């Protein structure tokens, strides 16, 4: 279908000759005096012509929120040129590890957080320009809904495409405004010259194309968010232009906006359901690395309530409980892990060392013996069996196991120290001293090694060497 070259209204199909609508023809005839003086110009109000406002009230509100958040970050001593990831996360950045782990609100808060003064300056310039155009076209509340829903779509696209990345900024929502304008100017009717509509449309398309190309060449630009916002905006603009072009058709407009919002919400719920546990486990691992075991345990317990058979969650929760000294709970998690993964020996290995932490050498010894029946050349299992024998005061058996480890893996961490302790218990002080010195050469000086050396020297009546080792131990403590 063609458009009127003067006002942009849609024309009937198969219009020949000059493409001018009946309203413009009557209007021109009236201006030439060819219409009777009492002739009534027919009412043919274009859908976009009524109910719109040229006020930028909501654009200014969004602009102000962005600036206020950035000012708050500045007052909190966050770097204005290159904020750290931890600072951006604190202020509400979008990151799969958190967003898909329960912090769904980050899909919106990230739209008002920016990664530096240049970032916010560019985005606010774009928001001011496209916001003015969009708000005058759609009216306040529709503009606000398009902005936020497009931002939601942008954030969802980002976290789906880059679940391990981090995203901030208003650009996803701004691309949504651009997409909505492209669809609306392409499909809607306007009470303005078609040339003006075409020029505006061309400017918006150029902006989108340039931004996407620049983003693809930049290593830090989140083009996934830009494309997600653009597609969401295109859908919103097209549906509004076709289903509810008149601002007074508020029921239709609400319906259009709800349809898109519900579709995006459904997509997020599906994505969250598929990845929430993996993200929770990874997030808990980071809490453990940062020495926050309580937060890790909270995340993992929630993950296991939702997915009781998640082996990874049970494994990390066992580690968290063990770090907290809650050995009974850690043992229960490791036993459950062995049920879930009967062919995986890692849980049995960890369980053996857990028994040692609980000072239960006999079950630890049985566990390591079971492992050695399946893996006779496992240096870790021989080392664990050596520790269990030493804890059960079977020092000769312990020495034998440690010597096996030295053949399988001479650089096994802590081997020389443990071998020296067992040799000292057997009063083989020369062998003990040699083992301690060997560990010292591999691992460097430590308080524990110097203290053990001092005791071995003193047992051999080597008083001077014992005193020197104790002095060195005091310096290292």
171 is catalytic: yes
Q: Specify which residues 10 forms β-bridges with.
A: 3
Residues 416 and 436 sit within 8 Å (Cβ to Cβ):
yes
Tell me which of 150, 167, 171, 378 is the catalytic residue: 171
Half-sphere exposure of 412 (CA within 13 A, CB side): 24
From the number of C-beta atoms within 10 Å of its C-beta (0-12, 13-18, 19+), residue 75 rates as exposed
Q: 109 vs 62, 114, 387, CA distance in Å?
A: 12, 11, 52
Q: Give the span between the Cα atoms of 95 and 85, in whole angstroms.
A: 10
> What are the structure tokens assigned to 363, written together?
């079950």
Q: 383 vs 24, 32, 331, 379, 397, CA distance in Å?
A: 93, 105, 20, 6, 11
Q: Give the span between the Cα atoms of 265 and 283, in whole angstroms.
A: 23
Q: Give the span between the Cα atoms of 450 and 469, in whole angstroms.
A: 5
- What residues contact residue 287 under an 8 Å CB cut-off, 6+ apart? 293, 295, 296, 299
54 is catalytic: no
> What are the structure tokens assigned to 424, written together?
């000292």
Q: 101 vs 157, 316, 463, CA distance in Å?
A: 16, 16, 60
What is the per-residue DSSP string for 191-250?
A: SS-HHHHHHHHHHHHHHHHHHHHHHHH-SS--HHHHHHHHHHHHHHHHHHHHH--STT-H
Residues 212 and 223 sit within 8 Å (Cβ to Cβ):
yes
- What residues contact residue 437 under an 8 Å CB cut-off, 6+ apart? 453
Nearest alpha-carbon partner for 114 in 264, 222, 261? 222
- What residues contact residue 353 under an 8 Å CB cut-off, 6+ apart? 364, 384, 387
Q: Give the span between the Cα atoms of 446 and 322, in whole angstroms.
A: 25
> What are the structure tokens assigned to 367, written together?
């566990």
Q: Specify which residues 94 forms β-bridges with.
A: 167
Tell me which of 114, 226, 314, 382 is the catalytic residue: 226
Q: Residues with catalytic annotation? A: 171, 226
């Amino acid at each position: 279908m063609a458009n009127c070259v003067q006002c942009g209204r849609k024309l009937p199909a198969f219009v020949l000759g000059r493409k001018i609508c009946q309203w413009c023809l009557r209007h021109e005839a009236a201006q030439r005096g060819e219409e009777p003086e009492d002739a009534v110009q027919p009412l043919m109000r274009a859908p976009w012509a009524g109910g719109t406002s040229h006020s930028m009230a909501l654009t200014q509100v969004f602009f102000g929120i962005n600036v206020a958040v950035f000012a708050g970050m500045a007052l909190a001593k966050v770097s204005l040129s290159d904020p750290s990831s931890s600072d951006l996360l604190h202020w509400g950045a979008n990151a799969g590890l958190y967003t898909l782990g329960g912090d769904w609100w980050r899909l919106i808060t990230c739209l008002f957080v920016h990664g530096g003064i240049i970032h916010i300056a560019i985005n606010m310039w774009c928001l001011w320009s496209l916001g003015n155009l969009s708000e005058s076209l759609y009216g306040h509340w529709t503009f606000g809904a398009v902005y936020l829903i497009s931002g939601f779509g942008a954030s969802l696209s980002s976290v789906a495409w880059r679940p391990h990345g981090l995203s901030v900024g208003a650009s996803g929502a701004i691309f949504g405004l651009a997409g909505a304008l492209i669809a609306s100017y392409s499909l809607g009717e306007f009470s303005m010259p078609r040339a003006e509509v075409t020029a505006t449309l061309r400017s918006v398309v150029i902006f989108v194309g340039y931004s996407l190309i620049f983003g693809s060449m930049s290593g830090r630009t989140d083009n996934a968010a830009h494309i997600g916002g653009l597609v969401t905006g295109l859908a919103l603009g097209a549906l509004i232009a076709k289903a509810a072009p008149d601002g007074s058709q508020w029921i239709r407009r609400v319906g259009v906006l709800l349809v898109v919002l519900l579709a995006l919400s459904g997509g997020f719920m599906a994505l969250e359901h598929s990845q929430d546990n993996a993200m929770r486990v990874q997030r808990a691992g980071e809490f453990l690395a940062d020495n926050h075991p309580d937060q890790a345990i909270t995340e993992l317990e929630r993950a296991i309530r939702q997915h009781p058979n998640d082996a990874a969650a049970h494994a990390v929760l066992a580690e968290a409980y063990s770090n907290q000294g809650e050995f009974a709970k850690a043992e229960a998690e490791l036993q459950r892990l062995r049920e879930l993964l009967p062919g995986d020996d890692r849980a049995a290995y960890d369980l053996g060392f857990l028994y040692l932490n609980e000072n239960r050498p006999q079950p630890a010894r049985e566990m390591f013996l079971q492992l050695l029946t399946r893996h006779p050349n496992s240096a870790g299992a021989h080392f664990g069996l050596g520790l269990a024998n030493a804890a059960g005061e079977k020092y000769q058996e312990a020495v034998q196991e440690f010597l096996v480890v030295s053949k399988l893996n001479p650089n096994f961490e802590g081997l020389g120290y443990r071998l020296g302790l067992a040799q000292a218990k057997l009063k083989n002080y020369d062998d003990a001293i040699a083992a301690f010195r060997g560990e010292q050469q591999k691992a460097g000086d430590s308080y524990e090694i110097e203290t053990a050396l001092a005791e071995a020297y003193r047992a051999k009546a080597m008083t001077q060497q014992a005193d020197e080792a104790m002095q060195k131990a005091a310096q290292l403590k």
